[in-house]
């Protein structure tokens, strides 16, 4: 798929909380001794759309940069044009399979909103993505699957686009605000889920971080996202009594 085609199918992230990097939402603990902590360079899986996949051909995608910044195994199953509500085998969630993941990055949602309602009135689509109480919907289901397998989840949020971005990407802000509230509720219930504000990495005040379409990241933007993820992982790891959020979460569910 060409970049032009991919930009028309962009799945902008809707996993939104207005925090600059990332913070855990609590700690877990079991009755016994904590497992030996995994290294902070543990395996990472990235799920999402063209935002995460952009610059792959140049070896400069988010996953490529994260390997360079942080080390360890980083696997990207991000697909340009992917949706959360499409045919089951083609959904973003279809890229997930249990493995020795320490972190799973989840990003996505706007292709559903753009394709189904043009980022206009979108209540039915929003509710299918994540219910108002954040206890049901495809995103809640995906996070539950990942957490049951023991990995921590990083929800990477919607970023602002440049004024030159093609219609209707610039009008998704209201729907993004709704998702921001719902994801805050989802993350607030689970110490193994963190939310990262993508606007801190892709900010219109730094246009060099954007591709020519004003939507996707440039190589510098992909690297900014990777650095943001790495900082978030390390900050979360450091707060859970010497264990990663994935390990703390395993204890809290035992």
Contacts of residue 188, Cβ cutoff 8 Å, sequence gap at least 6: 25
* Residue showing tokens 């605000």: 177
Q: For residues 109 and 51, give the distance between their C-alpha atoms in angstroms, rounded to a whole number.
A: 11
Residue 9 pLDDT:
36
Asked if pLDDT for residue 248 goes beyond 80, the answer is no
pTM of the predicted model over 0.85: no
Chain-wide mean pLDDT for the chain? 80
Residue 239 pLDDT:
62
Identify which has the larger pLDDT, 218 or 2: 218
Asked if residues 202 and 210 have their Cβ atoms less than 8 Å apart, the reply is: yes
Count of domains forming the chain: 1
DSSP conformational letter for 130? S
Tens of pLDDT, residue by residue over 86-113, are: 888 889 999 999 999 999 999 998 888 8
Query: At 222, which CATH number?
Result: 3.40.50.1110
How is the beta sheet containing 152-156 ordered, strand by strand?
74-76, 44-47, 103-106, 152-156, 193-196
Per the structure, the complete domain to which residue 192 belongs is given by: 3-253
């Amino acid at each position: 798929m060409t970049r032009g085609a991919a930009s028309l199918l962009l799945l902008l992230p809707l996993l939104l909380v207005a925090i600059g990097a990332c913070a855990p939402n609590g700690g877990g603990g079991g009755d016994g001794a904590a497992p030996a902590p995994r290294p902070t360079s543990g395996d990472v899986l990235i799920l999402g759309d063209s935002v995460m996949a952009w610059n792959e051909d140049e070896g400069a995608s988010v996953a490529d940069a994260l390997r360079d910044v942080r080390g360890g195994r980083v696997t990207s199953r991000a697909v340009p044009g992917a949706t959360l509500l499409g045919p089951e085998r083609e959904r973003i969630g279809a890229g997930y399979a249990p493995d020795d993941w320490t972190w799973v990055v989840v990003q996505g949602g706007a292709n559903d909103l753009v394709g189904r309602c043009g980022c206009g009135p979108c209540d039915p689509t929003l509710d299918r993505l994540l219910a108002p109480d954040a206890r049901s919907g495809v995103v809640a289901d995906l996070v539950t699957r990942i957490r049951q397998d023991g990995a921590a989840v990083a929800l990477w949020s919607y970023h602002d686009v440049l004024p030159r971005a093609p219609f209707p990407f610039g009008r998704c802000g209201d729907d993004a605000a709704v998702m921001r509230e719902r994801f805050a509720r989802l993350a607030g219930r689970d110490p193994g889920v963190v939310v990262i504000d993508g606007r801190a990495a892709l900010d219109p005040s730094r246009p060099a971080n954007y591709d020519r379409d004003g939507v996707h990241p440039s190589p510098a933007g992909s690297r900014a996202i990777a650095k943001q993820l790495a900082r978030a992982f390390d900050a979360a790891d450091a707060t859970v009594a010497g264990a990663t959020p994935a390990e703390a979460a395993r204890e809290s569910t035992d």
